[in-house]
Amino acid sequence: MSNLRKPVSRTVVFADIVGSTGLYKTLGDTAAARLVTSTTELIADAVVAAGGEVVKTLGDGLLAVSDDNDPAVRACCEAQRMLAARAHRGQTAVALKVGLSRGPVVLTPGDCFGDAVNAAARLSDSAAGGQILLGEAVIEGLGLELNARLRSLGAIFLRGYDVPVPVHQVEWDASWQSNQTLPHMPTQLGGGLASTRLRLTWLDLEAEFGAEQMPLGIGRSASAEFTVNDIRVSRQHARIDWRGSYYMLLDLSSNGTWVRFAGQDNVLALRRSECALHGCGEICLGAKPTDPTAPTVQFALRS
């Protein structure tokens, strides 16, 4: 008799604690292990309370599934709020990054397999601490209140995928901007015209490029097409490609790249992953946008 099980449609949650290695160095093994364990249990409790199932813990994170999107997203929001409340009470701050995807999966005792599992893990990898990133299929069936909290981050290439994936962030914080409660709109990547120009600005350096000049290297090296001379910037830090209908930014660095689009507080963290550039915004190289000294490249697309 075959041991293979039939795929079932589930919402997959992949949660990971940011900087757990640093916690062990700072707090010591015993205190850090206790903190990581209590944090993992907090996430698990939130998932179970919302009707979900914890498939397995991963040392500093967990893999869980839920029958429906709405309770899964609400559970992740609640976990983030509880962690924020802990930090507010003076306990050691723990940053959590979460990715959710939905699709057919094969459930086995203590494990779960399928493309949706891989996508949730990749979304978690692309998230910054405190972020909850959703795949497009997770949006279906969300209540009006959660829908209003969605923010499109454009399309990114997840590691192992050949096409860009629309990604959305859900604003879980109670202090989210009440003037940004417009209904969620599908991601648009622009007109896709080869005549679209890309303007980059860093300090006094400004340059404009066209699709015919791609690929475009950004880095500390003098040989880069756009040089950003800062010690935190890798010699070959990032590359911009023209993919036939849009400009795609790829992180190649050791320290990471962060993208923030104009008019949004959301930040997309790229770690050897990609995102489509649209409109205008800023690209932080080697340091987070919260660092006022971060080497920041302004970008703008125009036809």
- Give the highest mean pLDDT range of 23-27, 205-209, 276-280: 205-209
The average pLDDT across 174-181 equals: 42
The band of 174, judged by pLDDT with boundaries at 50, 70 and 90, is low
Task: Give domain limits for the chain.
Answer: 8-173, 197-302
- Give the highest mean pLDDT range of 67-71, 83-87, 258-262: 67-71
User: What is 8-173's CATH number, 3.30.70.1230, 1.10.10.10, 3.20.20.70, 3.50.30.30?
Assistant: 3.30.70.1230
pLDDT confidence of residue 172: 86
Q: What's the distance, Cα to Cα, between the start and end of the chain in Å? A: 61
The reply to whether 8-173 and 197-302 are identical in fold is no
- Summarised one tens digit per residue, pLDDT across range 247-295 is 889 898 988 999 998 877 778 888 878 788 888 999 999 998 889 999 9
> What residues pair up with 101 in beta bridges, in sequence order?
12
> In CATH, what number does 197-302 get?
2.60.200.20
The average pLDDT across 92-104 equals: 92
The average pLDDT across 122-137 equals: 87
- Stated pTM of the model: 0.64
